[in-house]
Structure 1
Amino acid sequence: MPHYLAELYSPKQTWLNLTAAERQQFLEQVGAAMPALASLGVEAISLGQIDKEKLYSSEHQFYAIWRCADDQALNALIGGIAQSGWHDYFKTINAGGEGGDFGNHLAQLINVC
């Protein structure tokens, strides 16, 4: 069953303090890990800047939505992000888990304890 990760993140001062070349170098290292994650069934669905004009918008500046083949791939993605040093540079919130349809989610909401 597919699993998903929604990330919300904003740059920390440590990121803002880097030069453009240092940022580029870091992001190239992050990008170099993508083929290994893709081989596990990790796919970036959408990444971008958050539209602050939307009702109830997050305080974060950016988002990423990932689809993973299974829980193992999701854990590899979350672990890989952490190992990259990402959290040194970005304040991040993760929301991840098994995917489901609208009806299943309504049942989850009804049955919440």
Structure 2
Amino acid sequence: MYVVVETWTPKPAFFAADEETRNNLFAGIQEAMKQLAEIGVVTLGWGRVEPAAHSASHEWFAVWQAPSRDLADGFLGGVESSGWYTYFEQSNVVGELRSVEAVAAEHLALEAEVK
């Protein structure tokens, strides 16, 4: 299973958009979410980033799961084609969800790059 974590902050264009434009944007997202669920890409939830040590710099987040990397990439392509990035500054994290032991082993095998 793959996970996509989106973090974002509204751009001035979002605040300048009229109510109809904002409503249409989120109505389109809700419709797309129904279609995504049919192919196995589901949202685990959305929220506002709360202050914490080493917190993300963006204000909002969403967590999604996808059964494959191809579907995760397709999801992000849909986000881009929706016009979302016109209104929001965003950073994404995509990766396969694996065990703590597997990831720890990879970290222990890391060597510093020599430049």
How far apart are the structure 2 equivalents of 1:59 and 1:44? 21
TM-score, length basis structure 2: 0.90
How far apart are the structure 2 equivalents of 1:47 and 1:59? 16
Aligned to 1:63: 61
How far residue 9 of structure 1 moved from its aligned partner, in angstroms, is: 0.4
TM-score, length basis structure 1: 0.91
Structure 1, gaps ≥5 residues long: none
- Deviating above 6 A after TM superposition, structure 1's stretches of 4 or more consecutive aligned residues are none
What amino acid does structure 2 have at the position aligned with 1:103?
A: E
Q: CA RMSD in A?
A: 1.2
How far apart are the structure 2 equivalents of 1:112 and 1:43? 33
Aligned to 2:49: 50
Is the Cα–Cα contact under 8 Å of residues 37 and 73 in structure 1 kept in the other structure? no
How far apart are the structure 2 equivalents of 1:11 and 1:75? 23
Aligned to 1:91: 89
How far apart are the structure 1 equivalents of 2:110 and 2:89? 29
Structure 2, gaps ≥5 residues long: none
How far apart are the structure 1 equivalents of 2:39 and 2:70? 8
SS of 1:6 mapped into structure 2? strand
Tell me if 1:112 matches 2:115: no
Aligned to 1:101: 99
CA 1:32–1:59 in 2, change beyond 3 Å: closer, same or farther?
same
How far apart are the structure 1 equivalents of 2:39 and 2:109? 33
What amino acid does structure 1 have at the position aligned with 2:62?
A: A
How far apart are the structure 1 equivalents of 2:45 and 2:25? 20
Q: Deviations over 1:21-56 (max 9, x none)?
A: 32111110121111221122111112100002x111
Q: Report how many aligned residue pairs link the two structures.
A: 111
What amino acid does structure 1 have at the position aligned with 2:11?
A: K
